[in-house]
Amino acid sequence: MANGADVSEFDLECSNLTKRFGGFTAVNNISFNIPNGSFFSILGPSGCGKTTLLRMLAGFLEPDEGDIRIKNRSMLGVPPNKRPVNMVFQHLALFPMMTVAENIAYGLKRQGVPKAEIAVKVQSALDRINLPDAGPKRVDQLSGGQKQRIAIARCLVLDPDVLLLDEPLGALDLKLREHMKVELKQLQSQFGTTFVYITHDQSEALVMSDQVAVMNNGVFEQVGDPQDLYYNPKTAFVAGFVGDTNRWKGVVKATSGSEVQVATDDGLTLTATGIGQGCKTGDAVDIFVRPESVALSRSADALSGMENRLAGQVKNVLFNGANSRILVQDPTNGGEIMVTLPQTGEFNDLRAGQDLHLGWKLSQAKCFAQEAGKASGAEVA
C-alpha cells in the first residue's frame, strides 16, 4: 500500500507514456495528472488505445517509455499484484466458484488480514453498497446491477489509491445502464476514491466525470470537463465524437478575425468560427453544427439575426419524444441537415414535405482545418 510519504495533489501522474506493439503505436507519448478523489474518464472509439493505457496503469502491460506515478511513487517494474490500484473488469470477472462474501474477501486474504477483521470489512462493504444480505449468495444468483456493485465493492474494500473501470456498464441493458451511471457517481463521491473510467460511450463519460480525456489514435485530443468538451471542442475529432453533429466539408473563401467564410462541397456558403490554426483562405476545412443549435421557423424574417440561413424542405420527421429530430433537405443542392425538434408545441404538426427556414449563429458553427490522413469522429447517423 502507498506510504504517502510525499503528499501530492495528484493521485495519478503519467508522463510521456508510450506503448508499441510491433510497428503499431497504441499509446503515443501521453501525459496527464489526475487530482485526488476525482472521477476521470477516458473516452474514445474502440482501438484508440484506451484499453492499452488502462492495462499499463493496472500493471498488465509495461510502458515502452514514460513513467506512471501513483501517490508520487513510480510504478515501473511493479507487478500488478503489488500496485495500489484495483480494477473493475469489463465483464466484472467475479469469481464464479465463490460466494459474494468470498469474492470481496479475496483481496483482504491476500494481504493477510486476520479472519475476524475480514468478516467485519466485508460486511461493512456490503452495507455501503446497499446489499447487506448478499454475502452468502452465489455470484450467479445476482442481477446485473448487483454484480456491478459487488465488483466495485471487491476493489474498494482494499482502499486503493486509484480504481480503474474498464467499460463495466457495456454488458447492461439500456435502462439499467442509465441507473448505474447515477449510482457509480454516487459511490465515487461516497468513497472519495479516484476513479479512472474508460468507455466508448460519450453519455457515460459526460454524465459521471469531473474530467474527460478524449482519446484517438493513441493520443489525448482534449482533456477538460464535460461542458468544455461539448461546447468548446478543440479539434475536429472531439467536435465529431462528443455529441451528435452536422458536418460539412468545404474550402475557406475569406476570413476576418476568427470569422471564416466557407464554400461547402455541396454548394452552400456558410459563416463559421475558426478554431485553432490553419483556417486560412484556400484551406480545406470541416464545419460542425449541433442539431440543437439550429433555429427553426416557418418564415424567413424570424431568423434575420442569424449569420447562417437556409431554406429547405422537411424530408423526414424522426419522432422520439423529447429527442425528436427532423431531417431537412436543401432543394437547390440536395444537402441534408439534422435539426432537433423544439418541444415548444409550435412544430407539433410538422410533416414531411413542408417548407421550413433554418438559421444558426456564427458562434454555433465550428470550423476546423482538415488534417490529411486523420480519422474524424462519427457524424450524425
Partner 1 sequence: MISSIPQSRTFRGIYAAYVSLFFIYLVVPLVVVAVFAFNDSLFPSLPWKGFTLDWFFNDTEPRLGVFHDRGILKGVGVSLFVAFWVTVLSLFVGTCNAFLFERNSFPFKNVLYVMALLPLVIPGIILGISILVFSNSLVNGVEDLLGWELEFLRPGLVLVILGQFSFITTISTLVISARLRKFDLSLEEAALNLGASKMTAVWTITIPYLKPALVGAGIVAFLMSFENFNTTLMLVASDSPLTITMFDRLREGSTPALNAISLLLMIVSAILAFISILVQREKGVK
Binding site for partner 1 (CB under 8 A): 58-60, 79-82, 85-87, 89-91, 93-97, 106-107, 110-111, 140, 154-155, 158
The distance of closest approach from Cβ of residue 82 to partner 1 in the complex, given in angstroms and rounded to an integer, is 8
8 Å CB contact between 236 and 370: yes
The distance of closest approach from Cβ of residue 227 to partner 1 in the complex, given in angstroms and rounded to an integer, is 33
Is 78 or 176 the residue whose CB approaches partner 1 more closely?
78
Q: Burial, 328: exposed, middle or buried (Cβ in 10 Å; 0-12, 13-18, 19+)? A: buried
The distance of closest approach from Cβ of residue 120 to partner 1 in the complex, given in angstroms and rounded to an integer, is 18
Is 91 or 298 the residue whose CB approaches partner 1 more closely?
91
Residues ≥6 apart with Cβ < 8 Å to 181: 169, 203, 204, 207, 208
The distance of closest approach from Cβ of residue 332 to partner 1 in the complex, given in angstroms and rounded to an integer, is 55
β-strands 85-88, 162-166: how paired? Answer: parallel
Is 58 or 279 the residue whose CB approaches partner 1 more closely?
58
Alpha helix positions (H), 192-256: 202-208, 226-231, 236-241
Residue with cell 510525499: 6
Residues ≥6 apart with Cβ < 8 Å to 267: 332, 333, 335
Is 66 or 80 the residue whose CB approaches partner 1 more closely?
80
Is 100 or 206 the residue whose CB approaches partner 1 more closely?
100
Residues ≥6 apart with Cβ < 8 Å to 129: 149, 150, 152, 153, 187
The distance of closest approach from Cβ of residue 140 to partner 1 in the complex, given in angstroms and rounded to an integer, is 7
Return the amino acid letter for 148. Q
Query: 120, 199, 124: which is closest to 167 by C-alpha?
Result: 199
Is 162 or 285 the residue whose CB approaches partner 1 more closely?
162
Write the DSSP assignment of 147-167 as a string of letters: HHHHHHHHHHTT--SEEEEES
β-strands 211-216, 39-43: how paired? Answer: parallel
Is 154 or 200 the residue whose CB approaches partner 1 more closely?
154
The distance of closest approach from Cβ of residue 92 to partner 1 in the complex, given in angstroms and rounded to an integer, is 8
Is 75 or 94 the residue whose CB approaches partner 1 more closely?
94
The distance of closest approach from Cβ of residue 87 to partner 1 in the complex, given in angstroms and rounded to an integer, is 5
Give me the residues paired with residue 42 across strands.
198, 213
Q: How many CB atoms are closer than 10 A to CB 218?
A: 23
The distance of closest approach from Cβ of residue 80 to partner 1 in the complex, given in angstroms and rounded to an integer, is 4
